[in-house]
Amino acid sequence: MSCNLAVAAVLFFASDPATSALPDAVAAQAPAEASALSSEPAFAALVQEAQSLKAITDGWMGADSLADAHFVHMPAFAAFKSRIAALAVADMNGHLTLKERGTDSDLTCIMRGIAEDMPQKLAQLEEATPGAARKMALEELSYLLNDNAEVILAPPLAH
């Protein structure tokens, strides 16, 4: 699978709330190093932060946050926004680390794609009007955060 196709698949499925996991074709291409990466401190921190931010995002979907006109001006949102930006940078650093190691895998591309897509999903959330549009933006960000963790945790699959 080409790098662009792998990134496109992840971004497509991350933006479609009807799909909560990577497609089988992308998962089947997950490199063997994915599960080993999750034991490395930097990649384990990526997983932990993505899961933590996903929990916050999911909590906002079931709270008054959906209707709050001042949602994006709350201190909690400002802190969340900073953490999302830092996670995007850390994902790009993960991509660069894998690239420096000479890893020629879909995971390298997927991590770059997630790093590039995260600020876009955050911007969509900031621009979303209260109600259904905000819920959709939160769902899309939640799916991307879930994918962020899963691509690192994915166990190697037999080919």
pLDDT of the chain, 159 residues: tens digit per residue: 445 545 444 444 444 544 444 444 444 444 444 558 889 999 999 999 999 999 999 999 987 889 999 999 999 999 999 999 999 999 999 999 999 998 767 889 999 999 999 999 999 999 999 999 999 999 999 999 999 999 999 865 544
Q: Which pLDDT value is given to residue 35?
A: 59
pTM score, whole prediction: 0.77
DSSP 39-80: TSHHHHHHHHHHHHHHHHHHHHHTSGGGT-TTGGGSHHHHHH
